[in-house]
């Protein structure tokens, strides 16, 4: 079997790469230092349709096939993991609403998501709740014609600028999902800073103090929050992260090839040293392997194969571990230079570590994959 991108996918990859090289790579380091994503870049991404990448055309989306969507995430991840994380969370919410929202929610919100008129963020994690997502402490109580939310969310990617949040809370003791607009009474947003990686992703804490939302903002049914809605969103999030990790690793590889072609030690270029060549070989091999894993997961998603879920977990696990290893070696190859902001590998190193934590940690993926293996 020959696995090869279609002509359309190859053309899309070239277009994505050109956009990233021109609009993202030159300034990504500065955004990282300022912990900020410029709104004009988000506008350009929106105009290109990337914020509606996976939504059907009937809602103004691109209807992008899953492998092409993976390529988009890889290329943007190659330039800036923070910007790629905007695609992740926004499209997670879009997909969850497309799959589980009612007709009126879809008709009203999805075209706005697709155009970028509205930026969406995913609000599951809490100060005391990470991997054990079914145990959220935020509560929602029915009071007449409103739901009243109380609690706190943390590590909410692009929470500083999001217009709407997909929030998970316990309602009658059942994990349930709600749409919460940023101007909802009782919602306050606190910017976060000083995070290890993806610093330009403008993360925030959300505080709900008797926050009132309409009954119409319930997504799905009571108790659907985690098993259906969050799971569907996280599956797409893992795919985005997996392909984005390949982008980080590819960026590290390209940086190392350039550096070892220019830097001399002991009278010869670094690329002539056998141990350096060994490290480059491992990078090339693992990057290619990780890319094939997300291609496979994307293909299975495209044809609706149920095994796409576990294959996505495998791709996310391998790609995130690979990104961390490749970034670590990239810093090592760059030596002291790799520990400075003058070279991008320091940013790749910090960003890669975050990828092993978000959308299901390395350890959670190991448990999931092993369980699947024993059930086979």
Per-residue model confidence as pLDDT tens digits over 3-12 = 789 999 999 9
* Domain termination site, one of 187, 221, 255: 221
Strands 164-171 and 120-123: parallel
For residues 233 and 350, membership in a common domain is answered with: yes
2 in any annotated domain: no
Contact 187/180 with Cβ under 8 angstroms?
yes
For residues 185 and 236, membership in a common domain is answered with: no
291 in any annotated domain: yes
Residue 299 exposed, middle or buried by CB count within 10 Å (0-12, 13-18, 19+):
middle
142 in any annotated domain: yes
252 in any annotated domain: yes
Quote the pLDDT of residue 3.
Answer: 78
For residues 187 and 304, membership in a common domain is answered with: no
Residues in the chain: 376
Which residue range forms the structural domain that includes residue 338? 226-375
1 in any annotated domain: no
For residues 94 and 157, membership in a common domain is answered with: no
* Domain termination site, one of 61, 82, 115: 115
50 in any annotated domain: yes
For residues 253 and 371, membership in a common domain is answered with: yes
Quote the pLDDT of residue 130.
Answer: 82
Quote the pLDDT of residue 169.
Answer: 97
3-state secondary structure of 361: coil
For residues 96 and 132, membership in a common domain is answered with: no
Contact 120/163 with Cβ under 8 angstroms?
yes
For residues 209 and 238, membership in a common domain is answered with: no
For residues 269 and 315, membership in a common domain is answered with: yes
Q: What is the mean pLDDT of residues 332-343?
A: 96
For residues 242 and 348, membership in a common domain is answered with: yes
How many other CB atoms are there within 10 angstroms of residue 227's CB atom?
A: 12
332 in any annotated domain: yes
The packing angle between helices 362-375 and 308-334, to 10°, is 140
Give the tens place of pLDDT for each residue, 79-136.
Answer: 999 999 999 999 999 999 999 999 999 999 999 999 999 999 999 999 998 877 778 9
For residues 167 and 279, membership in a common domain is answered with: no
CATH of the domain at 172: 2.40.110.10
CATH of the domain at 74: 1.10.540.10
Looking at the chain, the whole-number percentage of residues with pLDDT higher than 90 is 93
Give the tens place of pLDDT for each residue, 45-82.
Answer: 999 999 999 999 999 999 999 999 999 999 999 999 99
Give the tens place of pLDDT for each residue, 193-225.
Answer: 999 999 999 999 999 999 999 999 999 999 998
Q: Is the pLDDT of residue 139 over 90?
A: yes
The packing angle between helices 231-262 and 66-79, to 10°, is 50
Give the count of domains, the chain: 3
* Domain termination site, one of 221, 243, 261: 221
Hey, which residues are catalytic here?
359
Quote the pLDDT of residue 108.
Answer: 97
Indicate the pLDDT class of residue 177, thresholds 50, 70 and 90. Answer: very high
For residues 363 and 230, membership in a common domain is answered with: yes
Quote the pLDDT of residue 51.
Answer: 97
Instruction: Report the mean per-residue pLDDT for the chain.
Output: 96
For residues 106 and 151, membership in a common domain is answered with: no
Quote the pLDDT of residue 264.
Answer: 87
Q: Is the pLDDT of residue 1 over 80?
A: no
């Amino acid at each position: 079997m020959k696995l090869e991108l279609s002509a359309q996918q190859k053309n899309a990859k070239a277009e994505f790469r050109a956009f990233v090289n021109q609009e993202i790579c030159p300034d990504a380091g500065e955004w990282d230092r300022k912990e900020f994503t410029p709104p004009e870049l988000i506008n350009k991404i929106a105009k290109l349709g990337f914020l509606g990448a996976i939504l059907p055309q009937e809602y103004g989306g691109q209807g992008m096939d899953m492998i092409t969507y993976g390529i988009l995430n890889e290329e943007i991840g190659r330039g800036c993991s923070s910007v790629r994380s905007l695609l992740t969370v926004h499209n997670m919410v879009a997909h969850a609403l497309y799959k589980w929202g009612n007709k009126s929610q879809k008709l009203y919100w999805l075209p706005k998501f697709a155009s970028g008129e509205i930026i969406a963020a995913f609000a599951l994690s809490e100060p005391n709740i990470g991997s054990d997502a079914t145990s959220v402490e935020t509560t929602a109580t029915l009071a007449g014609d409103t739901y009243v939310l109380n609690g706190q969310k943390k590590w909410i990617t692009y929470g500083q600028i999001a217009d709407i949040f997909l929030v998970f809370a316990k309602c009658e003791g059942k994990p349930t999902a709600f749409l919460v607009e940023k101007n909802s009474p009782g919602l306050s947003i606190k910017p976060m800073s000083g995070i290890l990686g993806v610093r330009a992703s403008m993360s925030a804490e959300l505080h709900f103090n008797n926050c009132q939302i309409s009954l119409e903002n319930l997504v799905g049914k009571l108790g659907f929050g985690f098993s259906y809605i969050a799971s569907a969103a996280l599956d797409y999030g893992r795919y985005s992260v997996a392909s984005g990790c390949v982008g980080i690793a590819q960026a590290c590889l390209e940086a190392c090839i350039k550096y070892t072609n220019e830097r001399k030690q002991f009278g010869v270029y670094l690329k002539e040293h056998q141990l350096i060549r060994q490290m480059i070989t491992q990078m090339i091999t693992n990057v290619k392997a990780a890319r094939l894993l997300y291609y496979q997961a994307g293909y299975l998603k495209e044809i609706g194969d149920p095994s796409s879920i576990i294959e996505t977990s495998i791709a996310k696990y391998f790609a995130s571990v690979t990104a961390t290893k490749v970034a670590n070696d990239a810093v090592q190859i760059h030596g002291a230079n790799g520990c400075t902001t003058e070279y991008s590998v320091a940013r790749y190193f910090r960003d890669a570590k975050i990828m092993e934590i978000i959308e299901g940690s390395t350890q959670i993926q190991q448990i999931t994959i092993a369980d699947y293996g024993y059930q086979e």
